[in-house]
């Protein structure tokens, strides 16, 4: 066997039963737990009067990529650009996530409709969306599946 005891067996042993038994601990179970990052903090947005984005509503999310994979995305941030037609840039800023190697920035034109816009390397914690990058129409992202609860 593995040398591991079930919880009922361990309780019996602790209560004095099986006094001639010995317990062999699997050391891999007792290693230091890893910190799990559920989500990236919310991004802050600002509209800048230059660029190629039109007057519209834009929704953004940011996620960190660590050695363990992509974290859950940040809460959705919304902005309505207000400068002239095709004259807007959205500046996106977020807080650093410990252990992040890079960040994925997602943009959509409807709530919950964000798709990957760009990836930036850490320690960068900002991105300017001037509307010149295109998003693949067929790409889909489900943010709810990334976060652990």
Residue whose pair of structure tokens reads 């790409």 in the numeric block:
139
**Predicted local distance difference test score (pLDDT) of residue 144:** 43
pLDDT digits (tens, 9 = 90+) for 80-125: 999 888 899 999 999 999 999 999 999 999 999 999 999 999 999 9
Query: What's the rounded mean pLDDT across residues 27-53?
Result: 68
**Predicted local distance difference test score (pLDDT) of residue 128:** 96
* Tokens describing residue 86: 């095709």
Of 91, 104, 58, the closest CA to residue 77 belongs to 58
Q: Report yes or no: 139 and 117 within 8 Å, Cβ to Cβ.
A: no
How far apart, in Å, are the Cα atoms of 90 and each of 11, 19, 117, 138, 147?
Answer: 60, 69, 12, 23, 26
Of 35, 107, 44, 45, the closest CA to residue 71 belongs to 35
Between 135 and 45, whose confidence is greater? Answer: 45
Question: Does the N-terminal peptide bond of residue 34 adopt cis geometry, omega within 30 degrees of 0?
Answer: no
Between 73 and 6, whose confidence is greater? Answer: 73
Report the predicted TM-score, pTM, of the whole model to 2 decimal places. 0.68
Number of H helices, E strands in the chain: 1, 8
Given a cut of 70, whether residue 20 has pLDDT beyond it is no
Strand 88-93 with 102-108, pairing: unpaired
Given a cut of 90, whether residue 17 has pLDDT beyond it is no
Q: Report yes or no: 114 and 61 within 8 Å, Cβ to Cβ.
A: yes
Given a cut of 90, whether residue 62 has pLDDT beyond it is yes
């Amino acid at each position: 066997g593995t040398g591991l005891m079930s919880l009922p067996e361990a309780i019996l042993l602790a209560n004095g039963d099986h006094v001639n038994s010995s317990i062999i601990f699997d050391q891999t179970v007792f290693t230091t737990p890893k910190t799990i990052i559920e989500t990236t903090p919310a991004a802050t947005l600002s509209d800048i009067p230059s660029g190629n984005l039109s007057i519209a509503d834009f929704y953004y999310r940011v996620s960190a990529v660590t050695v363990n994979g992509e974290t859950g995305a940040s809460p959705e941030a919304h902005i309505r650009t207000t400068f002239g037609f095709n004259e807007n840039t959205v500046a996106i800023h977020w807080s650093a996530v410990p252990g992040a190697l890079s960040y994925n920035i997602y943009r959509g034109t409807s709530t919950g409709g964000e798709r990957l816009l760009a990836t930036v390397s850490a320690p960068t914690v900002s991105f300017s969306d001037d509307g010149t990058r295109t998003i693949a129409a067929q790409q889909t992202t489900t943010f709810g599946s990334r976060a652990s609860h």
